[in-house]
Amino acid sequence: MTEVVIPNHVMRHKTAVLLCKYNLDNESLYSVKWYKDGHEFYRYVPRDMPPAQVFALPGVNVDIKNSTDTVVVLRRVTIQSSGKYRCEVSGEAPAFQTVSDHGDMMIVVSPSRGPQITGGKPRYQIGDTVKVNCTSAPSKPICHLSWLINGIPVNRSFLKHYDSMMVGREGLEIGRLGLEFRVRQHHFKHGDMKLKCVAKISSVYWQSNEESVEGDNLRRTPVLESRETIAQKSTVHGAQSSSQNLKIYLNTRIMMIMCCCWVISNLFRNEFQLKR
């Protein structure tokens, strides 16, 4: 036996491909047999006609046309298809050397919708306590839930774990994970706090839900207040300086006009006296 490949997770109603690669060291192949949870469901014997044979087993639907000594194709897998699969390879007589290997396959029933967040408020103040829950829709296996605040995984001490709930005849499971923490200044980014819940099943399913809440009466940064105050003072001082400069300019012009009038008046007086 060189390699047995069993997919760990397969979505329900999809196709599963099982591989069984072997090396008999120059011996002839007698048979290849496949078992699920100890029950044979597929046999390949090169000397038989046809060489492939299928045995009925709940949850196992073999595509015999596309199955060979090294490949077995299962069509439209169901929850009953989950289990331990073993490949057994035997050589010809007289030794009948036999080798086998196995692997587990889990059929995934994905949730009908993404995770739901409940219990949150539209606004929080610094010092308030956030108490929210994230609930996944029924699935198989149960979703792994996680919380993030502003895209950063939360401290484990913030989490509240609940027992799973089984529903329906298929035994689907509902997961729930709570989040509880006291709001601090650093939890708000640009006035908002984003709470995200992620639901995941291995590498075949990933969905998230995010809620954005506003900060109520957040304190402004002192540096910004100081800059605003300085800017206002500078504006007032500039207005006062401009007013004083205008007064000086007007007074100067008036004095010049008065001097010109006095000079012209004296000139006319002197000319009149000469004519007399």
pTM (whole model) above 0.85: no
Using the predicted structure, report yes or no on whether residue 3 has a pLDDT greater than 50: yes
Q: How confident is the model at residue 217 (pLDDT cuts 50, 70, 90)?
A: low
As a whole number, the mean pLDDT across the chain is 86
Q: What is the pLDDT of residue 229?
A: 31
Q: How many CA atoms lie within 13 A of 243 on its CB side?
A: 6
CA distances from 83 to 6, 7, 49, 141 (A): 11, 11, 30, 13
Query: What residues pair up with 129 in beta bridges, in sequence order?
Result: 182
On whether the CB atoms of residues 179 and 211 are closer than 8 A, the answer is no
Number of helices (H) and strands (E), helices first, in the chain? 1, 20
Phi, psi dihedrals of residue 122, rounded to the nearest 5°: -70, -25
On whether the CB atoms of residues 109 and 12 are closer than 8 A, the answer is yes
* DSSP letter string, 170-216: TTEEE-EEEEEEE--GGG-BTTEEEEEEEEEETTTEEEEEEEEEEES
Using the predicted structure, report yes or no on whether residue 67 has a pLDDT greater than 50: yes
Q: How far apart are CA 104 and CA 10, in angstroms?
A: 11
Q: How confident is the model at residue 18 (pLDDT cuts 50, 70, 90)?
A: very high
Q: What is the pLDDT of residue 145?
A: 98
Tokens of residue 219, six digits: 């304190």
Query: What residues pair up with 161 in beta bridges, in sequence order?
Result: 177
Q: How far apart are CA 197 and CA 146, in angstroms?
A: 6
Q: How many CA atoms lie within 13 A of 155 on its CB side?
A: 6
Tokens of residue 37, six digits: 């949870």
Average pLDDT over residues 211-235: 49
How many Cβ atoms are within 10 Å of 62's Cβ, its own excluded? 21
Kindly report, residue by residue over 102-161, the tens digit of the pLDDT.
999 999 999 999 999 999 998 999 999 999 999 999 999 999 999 999 999 999 999 999
Using the predicted structure, report yes or no on whether residue 197 has a pLDDT greater than 70: yes
Q: E strands along 112-191, which residues?
A: 116-118, 123-124, 129-135, 144-149, 152-153, 159-161, 165-167, 172-174, 176-182
